[in-house]
Structure 1
Amino acid sequence: MPETRTQRRALASVAAAALVTTGAIGGAYLPAATPAYAQALPKTPIEAPEHPPGSFANIVDKVKPGVVSVKVKLDDTASADDDDGPGQSGRNMQNVPPQLREFFRRFGQNGAPGGPQQRGGSRGAVGSGFIISADGYVVTNNHVVDHSKTVQVTLDDGRTLDAKVIGKDSKTDIALLKIKEAGSYPYVQFGKGAPRVGDWVVAIGNPFGLGGTVTAGIVSARGRDIGAGPYDDFLQIDAPINKGNSGGPTFNVNGEVVGVNTAIASPSGGSVGLAFAIPAETVQAVVEQLRTDGKVARGYLGVQVQPVTQDIAEGLGLAKPKGALVDHAEDGTPAAKAGLKSGDVIEKVNGEPINDAKELSRKIAGLKPGSKVELAYLRGSKSDTATVTLGSLPTDGKVASRGSGEESNGQPRLGLSLAPASEVGLADQGVAVVEVDPDGPAAAKGIEQGDLILDVGGQSVSKPSEVAAQIRSAESAGRRAVLMRVKNGKGVTRFVAVQLNKAG
């Protein structure tokens, strides 16, 4: 069929477009005149990044002899629930977002092929580890060897040797073992710096009992808090790891350990490209204490703190939601002796900025008892500093950190009916919440009947009128939220920032 004029024009347009596209890619058909937008581009092109290794074989050959499989016989105190998923025991997942809670699975427990171990009597667990010294010290996860009756490690050359547990730390999920048989063992070293997001990493371990398995990926993120413990600061990697990889090392391209594989996010218990490793710097600090003392002693400040949310920042008149807000300084603690008070916002520790309550907790816990630290804090609108001599973190689990929780405040326009606490017999001071509007701003923040409002905007209150006055003061200052300290029926105090409801 002969081409029409319209068809010829269309074909010509397509051909011209193809030439332009080819020219843009191949450079053979670029027009002589440079487009205006191109003239604004830098004259020096951006240098291409280094190419990823063509092979990880040399790295693997170097470090693989230092990686071991860890096999454990559990004592009768280990819960039968340990069989339900990979190594969940000993880690609190209540703070994990609901949509992820069921997907977080630990691995290492019962990781051998064949499914869960038999219930009753002695049961087994399988994980990974790595040797860090020629005399046979081995790092693994606490949840791999917790409740262990006996521990054995299988070396890369096939030998299976008995090991003993030198020390464990449940808060970071790190354990240190020692091979009982004297000898000179191949070992690996920790990295000297933290990896960057995008760096290549290699994981070696014992997934599903298949020792010596190598996988590779990149560092996907840093500083992940998955709600597994008080000092969460995980590396997120996408190197495939599975049940049995727990306690195994993650290496950088120099063959240095940058993390200890500890958790995965998965709907099935298998790898979906979300894995979490404890950073090497954390591991080294814990291992040093376990080797010398058999336990970990952590610094203790003696405060309950919570994050500075956007609402709270507005209530305090802060430009940004940063720092750790002091709920309460326990009597007789280092914080109280240094003069810290409820309502202070800790902004720096030894000159290093504090972004949130979790970071404060990690920094303080990372220091030894007896250490002197300088805290920079904000009280009202005034900045100040305090020198604190840290105590030792009590063994009952009290830590210098609290979760954000849900919170609220009080005043009639916020959906609350109030009365002096002394008049309703709840306490000698404060303002009692006697009724809560379920649709009001206070209820949305978790305020309940029977709660006590202790102060508003940094001022103690004992009458509903004083609460109202402080709220009016916050409104006059142009704040969109008011900050209150509230005590619930269990005696727990917390700060609550509630959006001001102009409608009354």
Structure 2
Amino acid sequence: MKRLSIAFVFLLTVVVSSVSRAELPDFKSLVKKASPAVVNISTVQKVPDQQNYGFDFKGPNGEEIPEIFRHFFRFPGQEQGPQQRRAPQSLGSGFIISEDGYILTNHHVVKGADEVLVRLNDRRELEAEVIGSDERSDVALLKIKATGLPVAKIGDSTQLEPGEWVLAIGSPFGFDHTVTSGIVSATGRALENETYVPFIQTDVAINPGNSGGPLFNLDGEVIGINSQIYTRSGGFMGLSFAIPIDVAMDVTEQLKAEGFVTRGWLGVVIQEVNKDLAESFGLEKPAGALVAKVLPDSPAEDAGLREGDIILEFDGHEIELSSDLPHQVGRVMPGSKVKVKVVRNGRNEKISVTIGTLPDAERPLKAARKGSDETPENNRLNVVISELSQAQKDKWNIRNGVIIQSVLPGAGANAGLVSGDVITMLNGQRVESIRQFVELVNKLPEKKSVPMRIVRRGSPLFIPLRLGDE
């Protein structure tokens, strides 16, 4: 009986082991097919020659001045001496997308380079032309003079789901054609200061030098461009991010045609809808993008979008998180008309918006402003307020509201209001004056959350306000 049990356990172990091995992907054939299209990218920068400024370094008796002392010599008009060519630095990876030499990589890999060198799978090294580079998406398009090149197969990143196996090929630390694998951890991930890319998050080992390299699915199709890692140590920590290939190819087409990228622009400042805000706006659950500010002279203002609107759908796409909205808006061609579904004062409405062109960060936005007098006032929130001065309106680019001078214990303090906050909207109504604000406060219901829009140090923000809980 004991021998039978041992035999059974052994057999079960073999079966489980066989099943486990059968379920694990075999990357060998994928790597053989995909690797030839992956390239190493290095750059060259030219720097001033600091060792010879066009003069002979001779002493009073004609002797040669030692090299170590030459950097002390400076001659008028010669501060920027002859240009020297630095040795190529291996900075990243890329992949070929056409037989005639178009290559995709990251913007940050080629940024500031005087020359870009591409090393192919067959060891050839060719100089590349930067056709275009887009900082917002971190995508760059290169071109080398070659034909009959191996081409990476482009996939569909919109079909990706968390848990899928993926594989990266690149040149981490200059080690060409290094293969690492993992799974998709999440899709549509928003990163700070990267509002126009819904990143693919993976646990694939990505390190310096992988940037710009392809991320493959099990069919050998490129579904992303490896771009960033999250790290506290400077090395891989299990969090890496890739640009979805559908986003990258949209950018590529524009770079190829125009050399730059044009994006759609709505003209709103948005914030996340949390549980308390959802309750204050009468939503069943947190969802959507809350419009904290409508920029003047913007498509949103022209279409009639209002501060306090919650955008639930844009051009047929559901907006679950506020970070979903910039991705969708940026991909709409300027001049297109789209439908925007919003919740306004507890009711669903659909608004037609003609999308504009995303302006440069430095583009000034004009705003009409009104003057007012300062008058302190107390109210049910137990805050001391005054009218906004014209200087304050100009400083924060605000059209309306009242400013808090001091906060006393009470409902305002409980809501998190502080001195200097500007209250611009209360319970869906714009605040135009102290008198109107007091009237609005007096009409607020007891023990029910209502939304209040404030501007704090120039940044708009909605907070939930609840009276009667002191």
TM-score range, shorter chain: 0.7 to 0.9
The superposition leaves residues 314-356 of structure 1 with CA deviations (integer Å, 9 ceiling, x where unpaired) of 2212222212222333333222222222222222112221123
- Matched with 1:361 is 326
**Separation in 1, partners of 2:154, 2:429:** 51
| 1:431 counterpart letter in structure 2 | V
Does the alignment pair 1:296 with 2:264?
no
1:169 counterpart residue number: 134
Q: Which letter maps to 1:261? A: N
CA shift, 1:54, in A, is 5.1
What is residue 192 of structure 2 aligned with on the other side?
227
Give the structure 2 partner of residue 64 of structure 1: 35
User: What is the aligned partner in structure 2 of residue 73 from structure 1?
Assistant: 44
> 1:73: how far off?
1.8
C-alpha spacing 1:444/1:163, structure 2 compared with 1 (3 Å): farther
- Say whether 1:452 aligns with 2:418: no
Q: Output the CA distance in 2 between the equivalents of 1:348 and 1:219.
A: 26
Offset of residue 413 of structure 1: 6.1
1:349 aligns with 2:314: yes
Residue aligned with 2:257, SS: helix
Match of 1:30 in 2: none
Q: 1:183 aligned to 2:136?
A: no
Q: 2:351 aligns with which of 386, 391, 407?
A: 386
* Greater Cα offset, 159-168 or 439-448: 439-448
Q: Among 418, 424, 436, which residue is 2:385 paired with? A: 418
- 1:310 deviates by 2.1
Cα distance change, pair 323–56 in 1 and its aligned pair in 2 (3 A): same
Q: Secondary structure at the match of 2:237?
A: coil
Q: How does 1:95-134 map to 2 (within 5 A)?
A: 122=86, 124-134=89-99
User: Cα–Cα, structure 1 residues 127 and 314, in superposed 2: closer, same or farther, change >3 Å?
Assistant: same
> CA-to-partner distance for each residue in 1:464-485, whole Å, 9 max, x for gaps?
6754554564434x52x33222
Which residue identity is paired with 1:418?
I
State the distance in 1 between where 2:191 and 2:98 align: 31
- Residues in 2 aligned to 1:75 and 1:317: alpha-carbon distance in whole angstroms: 61
Q: Is the 8 A contact 2:380 2:442 kept in 1?
A: no
Q: Does 1:432 align with 2:403?
A: yes
Deviations 1:209-260 (A, max 9, x none): 0111111111122222231412242112122221100000011111100111
Residue 392 of structure 1, CA deviation? 0.9
Q: Give 1:301 deviation, angstroms.
A: 1.5
Mapping of 1:474-485 within 5 angstroms? Answer: 474-476=444-446, 479=448, 481-485=449-453
In structure 1, runs of 5+ residues without a counterpart are: 1-14, 27-47, 78-119, 400-409
Task: Supply the distance in 1 between the matched residues of 2:297 and 2:432 (Cα, whole angstroms).
Answer: 26
Q: CA deviation at 1:445?
A: 6.8
Q: Report the equivalent of 1:497.
A: 463
Partner of 1:336: 301
SS at match of 1:283: helix
Cα offsets for 1:186-216 (capped at 9, x unmatched): 1102113532211111110001001111111
- 1:98 maps to what in 2? none
Question: CA 1:182–1:500 in structure 2 vs 1: closer, same or farther (change >3 Å)?
Answer: same
Tell me how far apart the structure 1 counterparts of residues 412 and 363 of structure 2 sit (CA, whole Å). 29
Give the secondary structure class of the aligned counterpart of 2:191: coil
The structure-2 alpha-carbon separation of the partners of 1:453 and 1:72, relative to structure 1 and needing over 3 Å to count, comes to: same
Q: Determine whether 1:282 maps to 2:247.
A: yes
Query: Could you say if the C-alpha distance between residues 334 and 76 of structure 1 is closer, same or farther in structure 2, counting changes exceeding 3 Å?
Result: farther
What letter matches 1:182 in structure 2?
A: A
Shift of 1:305: 2.2
- Residues 97-153 of structure 1: CA deviation (Å, up to 9, x unaligned): xxxxxxxxxxxxxxxxxxxxxxx9858451000000001101001010011111010
- Tell me by how many angstroms 1:378 deviates: 2.0
The answer for the alignment partner of 2:230 in structure 1 is 265
Alignment-derived partner of residue 90 in structure 1: none
Written as runs of structure 1 = structure 2, the 5 A alignment for 1:131-170 is: 131-170=96-135
Return 274-283 or 126-135, whichever deviates more: 274-283
The 1:141–1:445 alpha-carbon spacing in structure 2 relative to 1, beyond 3 Å, is: farther
Tell which deviates more after alignment, 481-490 or 334-343: 481-490
Question: What is the alpha-carbon distance in structure 2 between the residues aligned to residue 334 and residue 68 of structure 1?
Answer: 42
Within 5 Å, give how 1:195-210 maps onto structure 2. 195-210=160-175
Give, in whole Å, the separation in 2 of the partners of 1:457 and 1:352: 28
For 2:208 and 2:221, the matched residues in 1 are separated by 23
1:60 CA drift (Å): 0.7
Name the Cα RMSD after superposition. Answer: 3.5
Instruction: Tell me if the contact between 1:411 and 1:464 (Cα under 8 Å) persists in the aligned partners.
Output: no
Question: 2: distance between equivalents of 1:434 and 1:315?
Answer: 25
Displacement of 1:499 in angstroms is 4.4
Identity among equivalent pairs (%) = 38
Q: Name the amino acid aligned to 2:384.
A: S
- Structure 2, unmatched stretches of 5+, are 13-18, 49-83, 365-376, 394-398
Is this contact kept in 2: 1:421–1:462, CA < 8 A? no
Query: For residues 148-175 of structure 1, what are the alpha-carbon distances to aligned partners after superposition, in whole Å with 9 as ceiling and x for unaligned?
Result: 1110100111111100111111111111
Question: Aligned equivalents of 1:75 and 1:320: distance in 2?
Answer: 57
